[in-house]
Structures are given as structure tokens and as C-alpha cells.
Amino acid sequence: MWTGNVIFSYMMMDKFKTALAKKVRGLRKNLGFSQEEIAKKMNLHRPTISQIESGEREISAEELVKLAMIFGVTIDELTTAITEEDQKPEPKQEGDKVITFFRHGEAIDDIYDQYGGWADPEMSPKGVSKAYQIATNLCRQGEKYQIIFCSPLKRARIFAEIMGREMKAEVKVMQYLKERNTYGLLSGINKTVAKKRFPELVTDYEQGKYVLGSERKDDFESRIPLIFEYLKRQDVKNIGCITHGKVLAAVIGQMLKMKPKSLEEGAMLKVGMDDKSNYYIQSEGIAFDK
């Protein structure tokens, strides 16, 4: 006998399969691969890839791992976006000026489990590879920024320089794009070491209190609109901005009045600007709350 729970479970499985098919198709096209090329890399036949992309065929765990490797993403990145796909807002037409924000990729502080903020580590090899991948894919799609602004911190500057070289675009530093320093004096310190040496600071941070040396919330939020005021003065239509997770989340919340749930490394947000408003156009690697 078919119970309500069983029917619901099958509906969710079918929805997942359809969303995964759409995700695979989108990633393949964005990377410029043909179905034949993907089939060869996975030791499958081209019609099988076509069935996967149409949702007619389920993907095994082994095939999911292979696809993630081919697309240069993690399994979580491949599947997390699927469950949030239906929550993306509807895009609007591009306005007078288009700003494309990117979150930088992995940095050395991520590897060594350090507090970030205004610490200034280099990008990791994985982060550099991600930047090249994004820049190459954008060039394949014909995307072009007339100028690229970036945070003064190395992990964003390196990303911007890579993109600038690929697109032959000028790169400039904008202080307003700098990450918020919620960690204060903890910035750059390994988290385990910090607990032993500076337990008071760690306790303040974990309890949501002000940490000595950090940027207060009001000060941080007051500089987000300044990003847009600065960009409006630029006499170009298409602008790229390389920034950080907290800045990107604040842009989404304050300027677009939307609720970001998660931001992947290398996440992209395209925003339209005209004389009256700023509005959402497109995003990748960002999940939104309803």
C-alpha cells in the first residue's frame, strides 16, 4: 500500500533528479564541453549523458564523483545548489550598468584553520585554480568587464589580477570591498592556538560580543552603500568586483533586500543598476532563503 510518506519521498527523488540534470547540463555548457567530451571522460556513451541531462537516467555515486572532478567542484557544491535551485529569484533585464561581484576562492588561512578578517594570506593553489577556471569560463561565454575593482587583501587581488589578464581589463583596488574584520586581534591566528593563548577573545567572538580590534557592525554596514555610490560614478557599463563573503552577503541583504543562505567559494552575483534602483539579475554558487 502506498502511504503519503512514500509518495512524498518519490516526489522529492524525482525533483532532485530533475534539478541535478539541470545542474549538470548548465555546468557542462558553462565550461564549453560537448556531451561527447563528457562521455569520453566518464567512459560512457553520448546518449547516456543526454539521458542524464534530461533527467531520464539516475546518476550513480561513482558517476557523481567523476562529474564533480570534471567540473572542478566538490560533491557538496554540485548537490547543495540543487536543493536551493527553486529558491532563486526571477532575474530581471540588465539595466544601465551591470556589476558582477565574485567571492574569492580558497586562501592559505582556510588550509591552516586560521581566523580570517583583515589577515592577508595568499590564495591557495586550489583558490588560484578556481580563479583561472572562472575567468576562462567567462571568456568562453563572451563575458567582458571594462574594469575590475577588488578588495586590497591579497586573496581578492590575486583573483582580480588573474581575471584582468584573461579579459585584458584594468584592475583597481577599492577599499570599500575589503572584508569585514569580525575577528579583531584574532585575525591570522590558528583557531586552536587562539583558544589556548587568547581564550577571552575567542569567548567574546563565539558569544557574538565585540572582539578587540574588530570592525563594528554599524561601521561595516555604512560602507556597503558607498560601494554602489563609487561604482555609479564610473563611466563604463560592465564592471567586475572581487570581494569577500561577508561583503557579498551584505550587498545581497542591504542593497537587494534578499536573504543569502550560503555562498560558495567563487560565488557570483550579477546586479543591475539604473537611476532608481539596484536589482538582482543572476547568480551562481549562492543559495537564498525564501
**What confidence tens digit (pLDDT) does each residue in 208-248 have?**
999 999 999 999 999 999 999 999 999 999 999 999 999 99
- For residue 102, the cross-strand partners are 242, 268
Could you give phi then psi for residue 134, rounded to 5 degrees? Answer: -65, -45
| 43 secondary structure, DSSP code | T
Q: Tell me the domain boundaries of the chain.
A: 4-87, 97-180+215-289
CATH code of the region 4-87: 1.10.260.40
- Residues 6+ away with beta carbon under 8 Å from 53: 21, 24, 25, 28, 35
* Cβ atoms of residues 33 and 4 within 8 Å: no
**What confidence tens digit (pLDDT) does each residue in 142-195 have?**
999 999 999 999 999 999 999 999 999 999 999 999 999 999 999 999 999 999
Q: In what order do the strands lie in the sheet with 97-103?
A: 170-173, 147-150, 238-243, 97-103, 259-273, 278-289
Q: Which three cell numbers stand for residue 262?
A: 550560503
Q: Per CATH, which fold does 97-180+215-289 belong to? A: Rossmann fold (3.40.50)
Choose between 234 and 15: higher pLDDT.
Answer: 234
Q: What is the pLDDT confidence band of residue 2, given thresholds at 50, 70 and 90?
A: very low
Residue entry with cell 586581534: 185
